[in-house]
Amino acid sequence: MALAASALVGGNAFGSREWLMGSVTPEARPAAVSRGGEGATALPSVPATETVLRSQPWWQEVTTLEGTGTGSTQPFEIGAEAIQWRVTATCETGDVAVAVAGQEETLVEGPCGKTDAGYGTDTGSTVVEVRADGPWRLQVEQQVDLPLVEPPTPAMQAPGTVTAATGEFYRLDQRETGRVTIYRLEDGSHAVRLDDFFVTPNVDLEIRLSPLEAPQSTAEFMSAPSVWVAPLDVTAGSMNFAVPPDVDPGQYRSVVIWCPLIDSAYAAASLTRAS
C-alpha cells in the first residue's frame, strides 16, 4: 500500500501531489506595470502580462493623503494581490494617530517626527481615521511579489539618447535570465534598463558595475573594485534605473547582480559597446 501511495503521489495521478502539497508552479497573474498607484492593473497603453514568475517582495506606492486635524481619509484600494500594506505618517506639530476606520487598534501613534510605519493585511477599499494637532501627510504603500514590467522612460526614447552598451546575463551563483542596456541620455546622464529579467530572489540585492570583462565567480568579482549603481528591490520583470551622476559606465566592462549580505555574485552580463 505504501508503494502504491508513493507511486500515486509521485506520478501526480489525478492531481494528487498538488492536492496534498500544493503546486510547484504558482498560478499565473498579471505583472505590475508601475511602481506607483496603478498597482497590478495594466495601463490602457500597456497590456497585462500574465506570468508565473515571482519577485522578491517589494513596496509599491498606493497613494499619498493630506489633511489637517482630526478626520477620515478618502477611500484607497489595497490590491487583492498585496501581501501587506503600510502607512507612514508625517506631521508638523504635536502628535498624530492613525487607525483603520472602525478598528480600535492604532497603526501609527506618537509625536511628530518620531513615529514608525504601521502595517495592515486587509485588502480592498480602505479608509483610515487620523487624529492630529495640525497638518499631516500619509504615504500608503503595498507589498507585492509580482514582477514589474515598466516601459522605457521618456528620457530613454528621446531623440538625443543613444545606446551606450548592451549585454546578456549569465549565471554565477544563482539562476538568472535577461538583458541589460545602458543608455547615455540626452542630458549626458546614464540609465540602466533590465529586460525580461529574473534572478533568484533575495533581500538587499544590488546592481554593480565591474571593470572585469566577464567575471566567472564571486572570488573573481571581488578581486577588482566595483561601483554601486542601484538597489535591486524587484528581482523579476523589465525595469529602469538611474546611474549615479558620479559614475561613468564607460569605465566598466560588465554588470553584476551582487548580494552584500552573503558576499555572493548572483549573475553577470558582459557589456558590448555600441559602435
pLDDT digits (tens, 9 = 90+) for 1-17: 444 444 433 444 333 34
Distance CA(63)–CA(139), nearest Å, equals 6
CATH code of the domain in which 98 resides: 2.60.120.1540
The answer to whether residue 24 is domain-embedded is no
Domain count, the chain: 2
Distance CA(138)–CA(173), nearest Å, equals 40
Q: What percent of the chain has pLDDT over 70?
A: 86
Looking at residue 25, what DSSP letter applies?
S
Q: How confident is the model at residue 47 (pLDDT cuts 50, 70, 90)?
A: low
Task: Determine the pLDDT at residue 28.
Answer: 85
Contact 131, 159 (CB under 8 A): no
Provide the grid cell at 121. 493585511
Q: Which of 90, 119, 144 is the last residue of a domain?
A: 144
Q: What is the mean pLDDT of residues 173-195?
A: 97
195 membership: H or E segment, kind and range: strand 190-199
Over 50: is that where the pLDDT of 217 sits? yes
Same domain, 217 and 198: yes
What three-state secondary structure class fits 198?
strand
Distance CA(236)–CA(200), nearest Å, equals 9
Task: Determine the pLDDT at residue 49.
Answer: 67
The answer to whether residue 13 is domain-embedded is no
User: What range defines the domain where residue 245 resides?
Assistant: 148-273
Q: Which of 88, 115, 144 is the last residue of a domain?
A: 144
Same domain, 78 and 102: yes
The answer to whether residue 239 is domain-embedded is yes
> Which residue has 489633511 as its cell numbers?
67
Contact 129, 99 (CB under 8 A): yes
Higher-pLDDT residue of 94 and 46 is: 94
The answer to whether residue 7 is domain-embedded is no
Task: Determine the pLDDT at residue 29.
Answer: 85
Task: Determine the pLDDT at residue 21.
Answer: 41
Over 80: is that where the pLDDT of 99 sits? yes
The answer to whether residue 178 is domain-embedded is yes
Query: How do residues 258-273 score in pLDDT, each as one tens digit?
Result: 999 999 999 999 999 9
Contact 65, 168 (CB under 8 A): no
Over 60: is that where the pLDDT of 119 sits? yes
The answer to whether residue 1 is domain-embedded is no
Q: What is the mean pLDDT of residues 32-54?
A: 65
Q: Which of 97, 123, 144 is the last residue of a domain?
A: 144
Query: How do residues 105-116 score in pLDDT, each as one tens digit?
Result: 999 999 998 989
Distances (CA, A) of 118 to 6, 47, 76, 102, 157: 47, 33, 16, 16, 39
Query: How do residues 12-41 score in pLDDT, each as one tens digit?
Result: 433 334 433 445 577 888 888 888 864 444
CATH code of the domain in which 187 resides: 2.60.40
